């Protein structure tokens, strides 16, 4: 089946056209012709586009090596991502996590952001990286397709990161044509990077770098661990399971588009708060899947290491 069936695939290009993998980046990670039906596949083997950790032999990648893996729909995305990486990743924690990816795609049509084990790449919504109103103009304004899920339920959830007691996030009214500073972009993009890279590390931990088979695709290398239930998220689910069946059902409605039952529609916010508080999730997105439970926990933990705390209500 086509990897991107039903999706609007942006026209993209390598941010650095002279980079070692520039000629294959777009074709290997964001091409409408990519297919894999379990029998035949035109996905790229790692000999054509290896994981970053393979290229560096497990050593910390340089900023230049990361930028050589960057795919964008507009050049400003590459410039702003480069600025973000040089400003925000002085200790190398993001570059170290990026070793479990083959590429970074930033596109005007990517929404929501996601990690894709089929290609080993992360795909980031360009909304998180704009600095100038002219840049913002090029980004798709369509809401996340999940935004109306659960609209018949009686409750909504709110979340934010805070520095001290002040929210990291600022509202920029598009009608005012305002610019956004470097720190605002760091605040918008930092948590997102941690979340998607948490997924990448879940599917390909550093302990697996040495056993990768370059004649096979990213997914062909990952699939045996996935199918055997050997991902970190599998161990988390076994040892620290979420236990609320009610919240699991609501997660199917809110994040996966299931139709709410009459019983679910009758739950008041106070009742849902009680169901949630009795469990060990950090956010109700954890009930979308065990992968999201682990990614949310790691994202929040790593943000807290930087003195940024997450509020959820």
Between these two residues, 10 and 68, which has the higher pLDDT value? 68
Residue 242 predicted with pLDDT over 80: yes
For 296, the token pair is 């949310």
pLDDT tens string 30-65:
999 999 987 789 999 999 999 999 999 999 999 999
pLDDT at residue 144, rounded to an integer: 80
C-alpha to C-alpha distance for 163 and 64, rounded to whole angstroms: 30
DSSP for residue 11: P
User: Which pLDDT score is estimated for 143?
Assistant: 76
Residue 146 contacts residue 255 (beta carbons within 8 Å) = yes
Checking if the pLDDT of 252 tops 90, the result is yes
pLDDT of residue 295: 98
Q: β-strand 159-163 against 114-116: which pairing, if any?
A: unpaired
Closest residue by Cα to residue 120 from 11, 56, 29: 29
**Band of residue 10 on the pLDDT scale cut at 50, 70, 90:** confident
* Under 8 Å between Cβ of 16 and 70: yes
pLDDT in tens, 139-192: 988 878 888 898 999 999 999 999 998 999 999 998 999 999 999 999 999 999
Q: Strand runs (DSSP E) across the chain, as ranges?
A: 13-14, 70-72, 104-107, 114-116, 121-125, 159-163, 166-167, 308-312
Map tokens 């695939």 to a residue.
9
Cα 301 versus chain centre, distance = 16
Residue 34 DSSP SS3: coil
Residue 8, pLDDT > 90, answer no
Instruction: Name the burial class of residue 242, with classes exposed (0-12), middle (13-18) and buried (19+) by CB atoms within 10 angstroms of its CB.
Output: middle
In angstroms, the CA 190 to CA 260 distance is 33
Given a contact cutoff of 8 angstroms between Cβ atoms, the answer to whether 116 and 123 are in contact is yes
- Is the preceding omega at residue 29 within 30 degrees of 0, hence cis? no
């Amino acid at each position: 089946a086509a990897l991107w069936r039903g999706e609007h695939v942006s026209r993209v290009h390598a941010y650095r056209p002279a980079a070692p993998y520039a000629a294959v980046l777009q074709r290997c990670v964001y091409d409408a012709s990519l297919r894999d039906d379990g029998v035949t596949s035109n996905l790229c083997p790692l000999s054509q586009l290896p994981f970053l950790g393979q290229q560096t032999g497990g050593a910390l990648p340089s900023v230049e090596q990361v930028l050589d893996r960057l795919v964008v729909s507009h050049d400003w995305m590459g410039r702003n991502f480069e600025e973000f990486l040089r400003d925000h990743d002085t200790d190398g924690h993001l570059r170290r996590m990026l070793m479990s990816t083959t590429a970074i795609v930033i596109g005007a049509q990517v929404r929501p952001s996601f990690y894709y084990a089929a290609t080993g790449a992360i795909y980031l919504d360009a909304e998180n990286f704009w600095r100038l109103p002219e840049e913002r103009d090029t980004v798709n304004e369509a809401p996340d397709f999940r935004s109306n899920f659960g609209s018949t339920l009686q409750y909504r959830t709110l979340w934010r990161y805070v520095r001290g007691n002040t929210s990291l996030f600022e509202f920029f009214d598009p009608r005012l044509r305002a610019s956004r500073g470097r720190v605002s972009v760091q605040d918008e993009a930092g948590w997102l990077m941690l979340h998607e890279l948490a997924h990448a590390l879940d599917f390909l931990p550093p302990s697996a770098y040495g056993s990768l088979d370059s004649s096979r695709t990213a997914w062909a290398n990952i699939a045996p661990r996935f199918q055997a239930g050997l991902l970190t998220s599998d161990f988390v689910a076994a040892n620290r399971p979420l236990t609320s069946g009610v919240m699991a059902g609501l997660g199917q409605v809110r994040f996966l588009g299931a139709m709410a039952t009459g019983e679910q529609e009758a739950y008041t916010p106070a009742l849902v708060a009680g169901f949630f508080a009795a469990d060990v999730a950090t956010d109700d997105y954890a009930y979308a899947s065990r992968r999201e439970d682990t990614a949310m926990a790691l994202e929040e933990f790593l943000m807290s290491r930087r003195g940024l705390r997450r509020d959820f209500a």
